[in-house]
Structure formats: structure tokens, C-alpha cells
Amino acid sequence: MLESSVAKKTISPGGNVTGVVELPGDKSISHRYAILAALAEGTSEIRNYSSSADCLSTIECLRKLGVEIDITKEFVKVVGHGLDGLKASKRALDAGNSGSTIRMLSGVLAGQNFTSTITGDKSLQRRPMRRVVEPLRQMGAEIRAKDDRAPLEIRGAKLKAIDYTPPIPSAQVKSAVLLAGLYADGVTTVRESVRTRDHTEITLREMGARIETTKGQIQIHPRPKLQPRQFIVPGDLSGSVFLIAAALVLPESSVMLHNVGLNPTRTKILDFLISIGASINLASVQLRGGELIGDVSIRHAKLTGGTIAGPQVAEMIDELPMLAALGPYTENGIEIHDAKELRVKESDRIATISAGLKSMGAQVEEFPDGMKVAGKSAGKLRGAKIDPEGDHRIAMALTVAALGAQGDTIIRDSECVGVSFPEFFTTLEKLRDAKSQDDPA
């Protein structure tokens, strides 16, 4: 499913982005549809399933657990055999680069009557897993993990229901506990101070589970018979943000994005961009499968700049690298605080985005929990050689920053965008009138 791409990409600045885009499926929602379809009683079809490497990792893990999954041109077909239909895998499950895969599947594996090992690539093996291991141990699973990192050896058990407040707001942790809650001996509660993305709750409800959400509290009743569904994954808003940002960097741009996921737990980025001057309009907003979708149109506009802190951080966690890279294109710059979490994503995103922007001549001050990127008065960015350190969102954010720079930028290891948005470069090129060229590695 990954497009063939080359390691190095040269980004020539200039031009504008104009046109209409149909986005590939949302990564977060695709993971959940695949996992829950695998636990349903019957066959589900998922249309517009994300083409990302991360979501393929979820499919591969489920296949190793004995789930029959066919990928056709039109949809992904998943044959579920109920909550107890998974089988032990002889080999370790490989989540690749995907934090969502390892953390959410850990919740499912905790409720099985067999032992599994789940691991991932070097980046994933460095990321903290205590946040998910801890509540699952409280529920009764036995988990072995050296220094609380992958590989995780999860011995499933008869689980106890718990009442859990994750110390860090995290949709992945919330989802892991809710998924384990499907196998528990009573009602499992998760409490959150910041409302993180709620696709797990929506999907569970759509499939017939009893799940109650009141302010700051989610309760899941155990052992539902999950009904298979015909799913259509909304377009990926987090991926679309890079195209929106391209329209904000390049004058005379105007882009329309079709059928984008507009779940309110994901759209704080649009609110923020509008608050700093972006011209963004929504149309044809409707509810489909419990998820809001609609068309997003964006026109180039001048940005004032602003600060992101407190609860906003968790609400736009994946968009912060792009916002930082927009800093040099704003009047007053972009400042980010309370975002220590960025240091434990696919890369240390505070360090990688700061280093990339600095090499392009931006004025950046790094803090332990954020950064300050100076606005236009610090001067125009210049082309540079960028190493995104294998992090898809850093590669895309700096590509967009490069569009308005002076001179060409070379993005090393550009194929890492395939982790979330394999079509990124081709989509961007289609929207541009000035072209970027591929360099053989």
C-alpha cells in the first residue's frame, strides 16, 4: 500500500497550492475500526482505511492473532469471532513505529487466556510503556517489560474492573483500559481532566457496547457482543493540517479538503488557526457512523501568531510540530508550553523540530516543555539539509516550512512520511504549480 518513494526529497520553494483533495482515512479511527472489527461477531468492511504503515502494523498484528483480514481495492474485510476469538501467536507481534498499535492492543491482550509478546521498531522501543502497563497490571494482567519499555510480554488474565485516572492525558492509554474493560468482571471507569480523542468510545457505542460518557468520566460495561459494521473512515484531519499549513505559507493559495473527520476532540487545531487569522470554512458537516465529517476550505491569510499551553497541548498534540514550523510565517511567532509529551513521541519532537528550524535560520528558543519560534521579524527561512530522524510529522512540517524558504531544502529519509501519510508528497505536488523533484538516495 505504501507508494514507492525515494530517500531524499528536494523541496523547491514558491508557487501556491490550489485544488480539491480527497484525503486518505484517519489513522486513529482506522486502528480502532480494525481492532474492534476483529473482536466483533461477524464480518466488517472498512472503507477508506488508512494507507499508513502504522495502520498496516495493526492489521499485521491482528493477523498474527489469527484474525482473517483481506485488503481489497475498495475495503478492508475483517472477520471477527467475538471477544474470545483471538489465538495465541507463536511469534512476537510487531507494532512497527506505532504507539497506538502497541498501547491499544496491550489492552486487548491483557484480557486473553494466553501470553503474547508485542514489540516495535527502535523508536517504539524507546517510548514509555509504563503508562499502559501500570493500569493493565492493576486489572490483573502479568506484564514483563524491561524498564517499562517494549518488548512487552503480556500474560492475559481474568481482569478486574478498575477506576482509573491516567496521570497524563492520553487517548491511547484511555483506549487500552477501555478495551481491557471489555474483558473485566464489572464496570471499568476511566477519568480524564482533558478530553482526549474519543474514537474508541464512539466506535464501541456504534457496535453495540454499553458505554456511558459523562463529563470527564467514561464507563464501559464488560462482555458486549460487538456487532460487525460497514465502516467508512473519515479523511485524516491530522494529515490535512500539513496541506492547510501549506496554504498558509504560500500566498494566493486556496484548497478544499473533502470528507475530513471533524470530531470535536480533534478540531482544536482549526479553532487555534482561525484565532490567529487563518481563513478556514467548514461546509456539508454531517454525522456518519457517530463521527462528524465535512469539507474544509482554506485560503491563504496572514497569521498573527500565539501561544499554546495547558489543556490545548493534549488537544492538538500531533499538530504542534506543524504549528512550530508555522512560527516564522507569523507576525509574532509561536510559543508552546506544557508539552513535555512531545519529547516521547516518534522522536523528541521539541529537539527535532527546533534543530530543523534552526538549520533553516529560524530563531528558536527551546524549553524543557516547549519552544518559542520567532515570527517574521527574525527574517526569512533559507533552504537547508534536514534530518527528520525518521519522524513522519517532522518531515512533513519541515517540508511545509521549506515551501516559503529561500533556496531548496533537502529532506533526508523522506519516506518516513509513510508512517502516517504515504500520499503526502504526491498530494502536495498535485496542489502546487511549482514542482519539487526527487533525488536518487
Active-site positions?
318
CB burial of 413-436 (b: ≥16 within 10 Å; e: otherwise) equals bbbbbbbbbbbbbebbeebbeeeb
- Residue 129, Cα to own-chain centre: how many angstroms? 17
Interface pick for ligand S3P out of 112, 123, 170, 253 (rule CB under 6 A)? 170
Interface pick for ligand S3P out of 65, 171, 244, 405 (rule CB under 6 A)? 171
- Contacts (CB under 6 A) with ligand S3P, residues 83-102: 100
Q: Is 163 helix (H, G, I), strand (E, B) or coil?
A: strand
Q: What does the angle CA 414 – CA 418 – CA 419 come to, to the nearest 5 degrees?
A: 110
Provide the pairing of β-strand 8-11 with 409-411. antiparallel
With binding defined as CB under 6 A, does residue 372 bind ligand S3P? no
Report which residue's Cβ sits closest to ligand S3P: 28
CB of 34 to ligand S3P, least distance (A): 12
- Contacts (CB under 6 A) with ligand S3P, residues 2-41: 28
Q: H/E element holding 214?
A: strand 211-214
DSSP result, 164-189: E--SS--HHHHHHHHHHHTTBSS-EE
Interface pick for ligand S3P out of 94, 198, 315, 318 (rule CB under 6 A)? 318
Residue 100 or 116: the one with the smaller Cβ distance to ligand S3P is 100
The residue among 190, 169, 168, 170 whose CA lies nearest residue 179 is 190
Query: 502504522: which residue's cell?
Result: 54
Q: Which stretch binds ligand S3P (CB under 6 A): 156-164, 166-174, 331-339, 428-436?
A: 166-174
Could you give the residue ranges of the DSSP H alpha helices within 279-346? 311-315, 320-326
Interface pick for ligand S3P out of 30, 58, 101, 172 (rule CB under 6 A)? 172
Cell of 59: 492489521
Interatomic CA distance for residues 255 and 246, integer angstroms: 9
- Contacts (CB under 6 A) with ligand S3P, residues 192-221: 196-197
With binding defined as CB under 6 A, does residue 268 bind ligand S3P? no
Q: Which stretch binds ligand S3P (CB under 6 A): 9-17, 164-172, 249-257, 381-389?
A: 164-172
CB of 226 to ligand S3P, least distance (A): 19
Q: Which stretch binds ligand S3P (CB under 6 A): 71-79, 167-175, 304-312, 357-365?
A: 167-175
CB of 196 to ligand S3P, least distance (A): 6
CB of 339 to ligand S3P, least distance (A): 11
With binding defined as CB under 6 A, does residue 240 bind ligand S3P? no
CB-based contact 327:353 (threshold 8 Å):
no
- Binding residues for ligand S3P, rule: CB under 6 A, are 28, 100, 170-172, 175, 196-197, 317-318
